[in-house]
Structure 1
């Protein structure tokens, strides 16, 4: 089945659902699969993974365990 046909078929099926439990499951699945970017190796990153990574980085930062660099340090590393 072509992508556009599949989208239309799924949309029509979703519009006919009246069960909130089923709709919540669909929403959860879409939220988990929502691609918001890609990592340095080109692998997709979901919104859920991105949020988890940000929270982990903030936690490490608050613990003083996150390695950070100033703008000048980054410039020196790139330019040399």
Structure 2
């Protein structure tokens, strides 16, 4: 089945569902599977994982535990 045909079929099925429990399961699945990027090794990163990582980095930053670099530090590291 072609991608567009499959999308239409799934959409029609979802629109006919009236059970909130099933709709919640579909929403949860889509949230968990929503790929927003890839890590340095090429592994997919879900929106949920990305958001968790950002919150963790902000938490570490607020506690002064996040290692950060100035633009000058980065330039020196790259250019030597």
Indicate the TM-score class for this superposition, using the shorter chain for normalisation: 0.7 to 0.9
Structure 2 counterparts to residues 34-73 of structure 1, below 5 A: 34-73=34-73
**Aligned residue-pair number:** 80
TM (norm. structure 2) is: 0.88
SS at match of 1:27: helix
Report the counterpart of residue 4 of structure 1 in structure 2: 4
Cα RMSD (Å)? 1.3
SS at match of 2:17: coil
Q: Which runs of 4+ in 1 moved over 6 A?
A: none
5+ residue gaps, structure 1, are none
TM (norm. structure 1) is: 0.88
